[in-house]
Structure 1
């Protein structure tokens, strides 16, 4: 990293300094007391475009300053078992990285990985080991020999971005994807549409976007979506779409009012007409291609929301009330009918379904056993109950991992534990978690400094060993430096210990000195 060391770290030896600043903390790391200089790296053994392109992206990040080459570039021998691996939940991201005390052609730096995505994680770690000495005008790795063996604690590690409350251009979403990869987060949960706007251009139902978007300019074409999803894949980031139903869907009614209870009471969507489910099926086909691992979102997980369903609009509609009576349904029965029918549509297209925790609170084990429950309600302790019943869990509790909560500190986020109360026999059902960047008060002007650096606290909790990451005071120097690491790459991470998350610095000061800004 290219910034001066935080004072708490500066008192350590140079050997400790480099290895001690890796974020998120590797599962296993050891280091020595020597250093090695290099003006560049020469990667040997790469064959796929994904891996070669990753090197092209990282070279200027690792070596941002031009220097006169006075020593030879160090060889890095790379071994990847499958350089063309598919990116899905559970794709292997493990790697090892070894830097000998005196690297040479006979004893090179080595990286081993099961997939190209593990190799990408190794590159990020390597980038954090390289320092630039401005006085010597040279790059070096301190603390060699370095031995790292690393893999994520959880397979699902993400950030939710909401593009309905405020439109986020594709260019902004690409920068968010870059930043996720820097922290070894691997999911962009795209909350694509909501009550406020419908910014996606559906080929099957074009009036959704034409009438439901904020403006003709604040929309995503299918090509836009495909471009972002591929951009993310090349960085080891899965893009998981959320289409929230039956609530949070009022914007749908702008183009297709027949699927809503009335013009003045628009949601939940109308369960009494097949037109609603025909539209949902057509929209899902636009997004998924109608079959597994295909379409604009080849990701096998699909989030269907299901939260905050107020059934008043159903009971106020004479047509819907009459239909409910004919079916023998009360409001909860109708809610369950809607959830089950929409899940069946997603399942028919090869998707596994995620829903917010209200569907568990209402329907429990009557849900399809493959349903993944996304915990979010403030103070929720639903995780042990969900996993004890054999259902999988994603953790994002409001007040703890909600990034729009500007007064929630990084320390609170860091100390959170997704497996609390869950029995050892059920731990495998915890897929991981997400920081949620809801969009009511963020747009392009503020999204990055609201996500960062606090999402880094989440990334370490989801990547690193639980027992090695218990102390926020020990983590603080690395956290502070990681914020500067993000800034050096153009990621607008706010001062690291703000009391109000995205506040700007209040006065002069170095990156690592920007602390406790009101």
Structure 2
């Protein structure tokens, strides 16, 4: 039996996956569409039939994770209906229930972290082998096991015969809402990283925190409008300290985003108290120094709470003094400017998250996913050590023109193109032509899972015509 071998990770981890493509019953034309594509694959044409009444997930006897591991137990429950999409009456069989020759997915985890959260150092490596009657999934951590379960679920194909605005009651996030989001994400191995952007982009904050924002002046009198957070008031930093203590108690991730972008200095320049503070501090008329003073205080506040700060690139561009473990987030610039920014930031020893090429709230006619797919994040002048400081990327969907009615179709499958670029080996995923049928298939899979992903081009999904 020929093996299908996969290795996968852009995060210095090796992921290996040996598998055979599985079918629920009769053979059918298919696309080999595990998305994102693992780092290394080899396969045979062997096919196996799955029966939802004869299928179980089971822990190996030597696994550190065993029944009662909430993270994997819930994953087993979640993936069963994803694998057997039309078998509504079924539930996952328990390992001690008897029935004839079950197909068993045996999961072995070296290090159980069943009640923990994923972090920047979490290993997501796994090994998966599939043969007649059994799949063996081995992973260093539960997070790797989750990745392996997703890959397994995508190997199963059903044949053609198979069965932003504010409202006090509805448009707010309570702490209970946030905890539900974090819990939902944790079970899927996803980190929830909050951004509290300041000193700009804070007009809404002033509604609930009098005295926080800078009063703007017209000549010698207040204009009645407000600008960014007032960096000249000690009360601003006292409030921020209380805020981030609360943030720390709600968000378990060790990183927090402090913003720091697009600060308009006009209001600060108009305010006599701010101008007096500038004179006292020796900043002259250079308001970038005032922003630097503010952001340095913010980074120190979060550092005191054992959080690693992420800030937008503006903070670096203004030569602000920030700890070397701060992560810089690139959001703007032409392709050449982005490459220069990557070179400069990594040369200074800072880690980088790249977002600028993946602002998918910008809509282009046609298949704009192609430009997201062909980005090369490490294509800048720098040493190998510098390029290791590029720790990831972000797809941005700003909410001015997005709500629950169009969020999913605008995100998917366009965001998937960036996902494969950041996850997969560029040498194996350099061709847009090769990626297109796989992404079309993945889009259909999203539809079957209830995610309203928009089409890439004219066409249809097989499941849309079942029963007609």
TM-score interval (norm. to shorter): 0.7 to 0.9
Q: Structure 1 pair 273/416, CA: closer, same or farther in 2 (3 Å)?
A: same
2:278 to 295, 309, 324: 324
8 A Cα contact 2:129 2:136, kept in partner: yes
- Residue 246 (structure 1) aligned to one of 199, 204, 207: 199
1:466 maps to 426
Match of 1:308 in 2: 262
Question: Secondary structure in 1 aligned to 2:214?
Answer: coil
Which whole-Å CA distance do the structure 2 matches of 1:52 and 1:68 have between them? 19
- When normalised by structure 1's length, the TM-score is 0.74
2:49 is equivalent to residue 28 of structure 1? no
Partner of 1:62: 83
Tell me the distance in 2 between the aligned counterparts of 1:27 and 1:478.
15
Matched, 1:433 2:393: yes
Is the aligned partner of 1:417 residue 2:417?
no
Give the secondary-structure state (helix, strand or coil) at the position aligned to 1:29.
coil
Post-superposition Cα deviations, 1:119-154, rounded to whole Å, max 9, x if no partner, equal 11111111111112243x48xxxxxxxxxxxxxxxx
8 Å contact 1:39–1:67 — kept in the other structure? no
Aligned to 1:124, which of 150, 155, 172?
150
Q: 1:71 to 1:481 in 2, by over 3 A?
A: farther
Deviation at 1:55, TM superposition (A): 0.6
- TM (normalized to structure 2)? 0.82
Q: Contact 1:452 / 1:483 at 8 angstroms: preserved in 2?
A: yes
- Paired position in structure 2 for 1:262: 215
Say which SS state the counterpart of residue 36 (structure 2) adopts: coil
Structure 1's 305 and 217: CA in aligned 2 closer, same or farther, altered over 3 A?
A: same
2 CA distance for matches of 1:17 and 1:266? Answer: 62
* Superposed displacement of residue 238, structure 1: 0.4
* Counterpart position of 2:171: 218
Partner of 1:386: 345
**What is the CA distance between 1:384 and its match in structure 2?**
1.5
Bigger CA drift: 426-435 or 264-273? 264-273
**1:473-510 superposed Cα distances (whole Å, 9 cap, x missing partner):** 0111101110110011010111124xxxxxxx8xxx52
In 2, are the aligned partners of 1:481 and 1:512 still within 8 Å (CA)? no
Q: Is 1:83 the equivalent of 2:112?
A: yes
Q: Which has the larger radius of gyration?
A: 2
Partner of 1:359: 315
Residue 301 (structure 1) shift: 0.9
Q: Which residue does 1:4 correspond to in 2? A: none
Distance (whole Å) between structure 1 residues aligned to residue 175 and residue 409 of structure 2: 28
CA displacement at 1:215 relative to structure 2: 3.6
Q: Tell me, what secondary structure is at the counterpart of 2:56?
A: strand
1:50 touches 1:83 (CA, 8 Å); kept in 2?
A: no
Question: Superposition pairs for residues 8-27 of structure 1, below 5 Å?
Answer: 20-27=32-39
Alpha-carbon displacement from aligned partner over 1:8-47 (angstroms, at most 9, x marks no partner): xxxxxx9996672111001122211211112133122143
Aligned to 1:81, what secondary structure does the other structure show?
strand
Say which of 51, 68, 79 aligns to 2:72. 51
Check the 8 A contact 1:77/1:109 in 2, yes or no.
Answer: yes
Secondary structure of the residue aligned to 1:57 is helix
In structure 2, C-alpha distance between the alignment counterparts of 1:216 and 1:33, rounded to whole Å: 55
Q: Which residue of 2 aligns with 1:208?
A: none
Q: CA RMSD in A?
A: 2.4
Distance in 2 separating the partners of 1:359 and 1:32? 52
Cα shift at 1:97 = 0.9
**CA–CA distance in 2 between the matches of 1:86 and 1:257?**
36
Change in 2 beyond 3 A, CA 1:115/1:16: farther
Secondary structure at 1:467 match in 2: coil
1:336 aligns with 2:292: yes
Q: How many residues align?
A: 404
User: Is the aligned partner of 1:347 residue 2:297?
Assistant: no
Compute the displacement of 1:66 (Å).
Answer: 2.8
- Counterparts of 1:237 and 1:353, CA distance in 2: 19
Question: Which secondary structure does the structure 2 equivalent of 1:133 belong to?
Answer: coil
Q: Report if aligned partners of 1:449, 1:493 keep a CA contact under 8 Å in 2.
A: yes
Superposition deviation, residue 512 in structure 1: 7.7
Return 5+ residue gaps in structure 1 as ranges. Answer: 1-13, 139-165, 168-212, 289-294, 498-504
SS of 1:28's partner is: coil
- Partner residue, 1:191: none
CA deviation vs aligned residue, 1:425-451 (integer Å, no higher than 9, x gap): 222211110100100000011111111
Please tell me whether the aligned partners of residues 259 and 311 of structure 2 are also in contact (alpha carbons under 8 angstroms): yes
